[in-house]
Structure 1
Amino acid sequence: MGSVFLPHLNTGWHVDQAILSEDDRLVVIRFGREEEPDCMIIDEILFSISEKVKNFAAIYLCNLDKVPDFNQMYELDQDRSEPYTIMFFFRNKHMMCDFGTGNNNKLNFMIYDKQELIDIIETIYRGAKKGKGLVVSPKDYSTLRRGG
């Protein structure tokens, strides 16, 4: 179980501290509900890549029900249709990524390929280091079908 090993942010204060604490690494936060199947899958993938990306990214998990503080601000799963949302922050700044989906604020679709997720995190990190607030994903996800 990946979600057992990755650090959990249990309050809004912890989320803020995680975002503020990193000066040179990308902060990756998965907002979601551990008990949902797709969330379990992405947690497993995040855990499996955490060692590979640890030099440039810190990965955290945040349960939407336990920490509702950001649900409205970041439009997180208002209608429970998103299995999870991954957001990226660098030096206390929300990083945007153009996945071709029309939503640049967050990654909220399934990625099953570990290398693909590593590439996304690395691309956002590189853009962040260059001072960009918006980076373009290494792959265009506009052809994704909702609901599989």
Structure 2
Amino acid sequence: MSYLLPHLHSGWEVDQAIVTEEDRVVVIRFGRDDDATCMIQDEVLANIAEKVRNFAVIYLVDIEEVPDFNNMYELYDDCTTMFFFRNKHIMVDCGTGDNNKINWALTDKQELIDIIELVYRGARKGRGLVVSPKDYSTKYRY
């Protein structure tokens, strides 16, 4: 399903996507297109892209093609989803201890929509950290 979403193919493209979007949340899935976890996440992202288009834009970045951010964002997991708003990284507290990113596939479309909407509302109010409506600390084991 990764072919349904726009890919960013260089560090410059990633930077431009984050810097130039002024009114919507930039959702970036970092990972490998052929990874099973990323395939699940990409399918969910593709299914919600139209529903969140008024307040979010979704991009995919293959961390092997664009390794520029691997150290900066500690992209060591198979699939990582991050959020940016007006050139600022927005953290999400999901109860897992890692507020910088979501490093598992969210399979429930409505849950992901709710998180993106929460990020949008919090970021518009100037918050750099928002608390997820659901605690994922026991749902996903690493």
Q: TM-score range by the shorter chain?
A: over 0.9
The alignment partner of 1:138 has SS state of coil
Task: Provide the residue aligned with 1:46 in structure 2.
Answer: 45
Distance 2:125 2:57 in 1: 18
> 5+ residue gaps in structure 2?
none
AA partner of residue 27 (structure 2): V
Distance 1:135 1:87 in 2: 13
User: Are the structure 2 counterparts of residues 145 and 59 from structure 1 closer, same or farther at C-alpha, using a change threshold of 3 Å?
Assistant: closer
Task: Provide the residue aligned with 2:84 in structure 1.
Answer: 89
> 5+ residue gaps in structure 1?
none
Paired residues for 1:72-111 under 5 Å: 72-77=71-76, 82-111=77-106
Query: Where in structure 1 do 4 or more consecutive aligned residues deviate above 3 Å?
Result: none
TM-score normalised by structure 2 residue count: 0.97
Identity of aligned residues (%): 66
Distance 1:145 1:55 in 2: 30
AA partner of residue 5 (structure 1): L
Count matched residues.
Answer: 142
Distance 2:50 2:21 in 1: 17
Distance 1:17 1:47 in 2: 21
AA partner of residue 62 (structure 1): V
1:142 aligns with 2:137: yes
State the 1:83 CA deviation: 2.2
TM-score normalised by structure 1 residue count: 0.93
Task: Provide the residue aligned with 2:120 in structure 1.
Answer: 125
State the 1:84 CA deviation: 0.4
